[in-house]
C-alpha cells in the first residue's frame, strides 16, 4: 500500500453506508427474522459490515505508514480491538445471554493469530525466501506477556476456590482487570519508548521507504477511521441478532459465535500480515499478529469485565480441558518457533496443523 495512491472509494463509501443502514433500521424499528427478506437484510448487513471493517483497517494502515514502526502496527491493533470489544460486548449483553462469548472469542483470536495467521505467514515466507529473520528480543517480549495474560484470564479461573469455576469472583475479576491493564500498559511503554528497536527489523532488500502522506490526507484518514469504527459499533447489535438466529438454525456449537466474531475482526489485519510476509517483512507480520493477541486480552477482558459488573451479568473465562491443552501446546510451539530468530516452512506448517485441529474440535468436540 502506498499513501500516495488515491484514496479507494470503498474506504469512505462503506462507512457512509453503515451509518445510513443503522439510521434506516433505527427509524423503521426493523426486527430481524429468518425469512426471505431477513436473509436479504443479513447479506446486506454482512457486506456493509465487512466493508466498514476493511475501511477502518485501511485508514489505520494509512496512518500507520505515516507514523512508522512500531507505532504503525499499534494503531492497527488498537483499531481492531475497538471493533472486537464492540462486537463482543453487544452480543454478550444482548437479549440472549452469552456469558462465555468473551472467553470463546479471546481464545479464538489467540488460536487464529498464534497458529493460523503466524503459521500461514511463516509458511508463505518459507516457500518464497526459504528462511526469514525477525527481532528475537521483540518476539520474546510479546510471548512472555501473552503467555502470562492468557494463563491468568483463560486457565486460572478454573482453579480458584472463592467461586466454582470457570468464573472469577467480583473481587478476583476486578484484580485481574487491573493487573491485565497494568501489564499491557507497561508492554506498550516498552514497545513505543524504552525498546522500540526490539520491534523493528532491518528493511528487506528492495523494499521502498515510507511513502509521503500530506497532513490533509492524514487528517482525512483519521476522521474516516473514527467514522468507520463508529459504524461498526452501531451495527454490532444487528450483527449479534443475525449470529444468534443463524447459530440456532444450524445447531452450531457454543464456540461458533466466538470463532465467527474473531474471523470477522481479524480478516483485514490478517491480510495485511500475509502481505508483509510476502514482501519479506516477517517482523511486521509478527508485530501485527502477536500484537493483536496481546491487545485482545489486555483490553477486551478488562472492558468486558467492567461491562458485566456494571450490568450485573456473569462472565465465564476458564477454558475446558481440551481448550487448555491446545493453548499450552500453542505456548510450547511458539517458544520453539520464535526461539532462534529464523523461521522456515516447517515451523509454519506445524502451526497451521494445530489451527486445523482447533477448528475441527470446535465443530466436533
What pLDDT does residue 120 have? 92
**Cβ atoms 312, 75 nearer than 8 A:** no
Q: Name the CATH architecture for the domain at 10-363.
A: Up-down Bundle (1.20)
**Cβ atoms 70, 80 nearer than 8 A:** no
What pLDDT does residue 270 have? 80
Among all chains, which residue has been given the C-alpha cell 438454525?
249
The reported pTM is 0.80
pLDDT mean over 14-43: 83
Instruction: Enumerate the domain spans of the chain.
Output: 10-363
What pLDDT does residue 248 have? 75
Can you tell me the distance from the alpha carbon of 266 to that of 252, in angstroms, rounded to the nearest whole number?
Answer: 21
pLDDT, greater one: 240 or 137: 137
242-275 burial: b if 16+ Cβ within 10 Å, else e: bbbbebeeeebeebbbbbbbbebbbebbbebbbb
Nearest Cα residue to 217 out of 16, 53, 6, 54: 6
**Cβ atoms 103, 300 nearer than 8 A:** no
Strand partners of residue 140: none
What percent of the chain has a predicted confidence (pLDDT) above 70?
Answer: 89
Find the distance separating the first CA and the last CA of the chain, reported in whole Å: 41
* pLDDT over threshold 50, residue 312: yes
- Among 84-88, 211-215, 278-282, 334-338, top mean pLDDT goes to 334-338
* pLDDT over threshold 50, residue 113: yes
What's the grid cell of residue 229?
469504527
Angle 327-321-295 from CA coordinates, rounded to 5°: 35
Roughly what angle, to the nearest 10 degrees, separates helices 282-295 and 255-278?
160
Q: What is the pLDDT of residues 62-72, one digit of tens each?
A: 777 776 656 66
Can you tell me the distance from the alpha carbon of 171 to that of 177, in angstroms, rounded to the nearest whole number?
Answer: 10
Helix (H), strand (E), coil (C) string for 241-286: HHHHHHHHHHCCCCHHHHHHHHHHHHHHHHHHHHHHHHCCCHHHHH
Q: What is the pLDDT of residues 200-245, one digit of tens each?
A: 765 544 444 445 566 777 788 878 887 887 777 777 777 777 777 7
Can you tell me the distance from the alpha carbon of 41 to that of 34, in angstroms, rounded to the nearest whole number?
Answer: 10
Q: How is the chain split among helix, strand and coil, in percent rounded to 5?
A: 75, 0, 20
Nearest Cα residue to 178 out of 303, 4, 291: 303
* pLDDT over threshold 60, residue 35: yes
* pLDDT over threshold 80, residue 249: no
What's the grid cell of residue 131?
528462511
pLDDT, greater one: 46 or 84: 46
Amino acid at each position: 500500500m502506498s499513501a500516495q495512491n488515491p484514496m479507494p472509494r470503498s474506504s469512505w463509501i462503506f462507512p457512509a453506508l453503515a451509518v445510513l443502514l443503522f439510521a434506516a433500521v433505527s427509524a423503521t424499528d426493523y426486527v430481524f427474522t429468518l425469512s426471505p427478506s431477513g436473509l436479504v437484510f443479513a447479506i446486506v448487513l454482512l457486506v456493509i459490515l465487512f466493508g466498514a471493517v476493511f475501511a477502518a483497517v485501511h485508514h489505520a494502515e494509512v496512518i500507520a505508514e505515516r507514523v512508522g514502526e512500531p507505532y504503525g502496527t499499534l494503531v492497527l491493533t488498537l483499531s481492531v480491538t475497538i471493533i472486537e470489544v464492540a462486537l463482543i460486548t453487544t452480543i454478550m449483553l444482548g437479549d440472549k445471554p452469552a456469558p462465555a462469548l468473551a472467553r470463546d472469542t479471546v481464545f479464538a483470536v489467540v488460536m487464529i493469530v498464534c497458529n493460523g495467521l503466524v503459521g500461514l505467514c511463516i509458511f508463505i515466507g518459507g516457500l518464497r525466501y526459504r528462511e526469514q529473520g525477525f527481532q528475537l528480543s521483540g518476539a520474546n517480549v510479546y510471548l512472555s506477556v501473552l503467555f502470562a495474560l492468557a494463563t491468568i484470564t483463560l486457565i486460572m479461573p478454573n482453579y480458584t476456590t472463592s467461586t466454582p469455576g470457570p468464573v472469577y469472583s467480583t473481587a478476583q475479576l476486578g484484580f485481574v482487570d487491573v493487573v491485565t491493564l497494568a501489564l499491557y500498559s507497561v508492554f506498550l511503554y516498552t514497545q513505543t519508548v524504552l525498546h522500540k528497536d526490539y520491534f523493528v527489523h532491518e528493511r528487506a532488500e528492495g523494499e521502498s521507504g515510507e511513502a509521503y502522506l500530506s497532513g490533509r490526507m492524514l487528517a482525512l484518514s483519521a476522521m474516516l477511521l473514527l467514522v468507520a469504527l463508529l459504524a461498526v459499533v452501531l451495527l454490532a447489535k444487528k450483527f449479534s441478532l443475525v449470529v444468534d438466529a443463524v447459530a440456532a438454525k444450524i445447531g452450531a456449537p457454543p464456540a461458533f459465535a466466538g470463532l465467527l466474531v474473531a474471523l470477522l475482526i481479524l480478516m483485514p489485519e490478517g491480510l495485511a500480515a500475509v502481505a508483509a510476509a510476502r514482501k519479506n517483512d516477517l517482523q511486521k507480520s509478527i508485530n501485527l499478529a502477536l500484537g493483536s493477541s496481546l491487545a485482545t486480552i489486555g483490553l477486551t477482558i478488562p472492558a468486558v469485565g467492567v461491562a458485566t459488573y456494571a450490568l450485573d451479568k456473569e462472565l465465564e473465562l476458564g477454558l475446558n480441558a481440551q481448550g487448555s491443552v491446545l493453548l499450552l501446546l500453542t505456548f510450547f510451539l511458539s517458544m520453539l518457533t520464535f526461539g532462534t530468530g529464523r523461521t522456515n516452512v516447517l515451523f509454519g506448517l506445524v502451526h497451521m496443523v494445530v489451527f486445523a485441529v482447533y477448528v475441527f474440535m470446535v465443530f466436533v468436540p
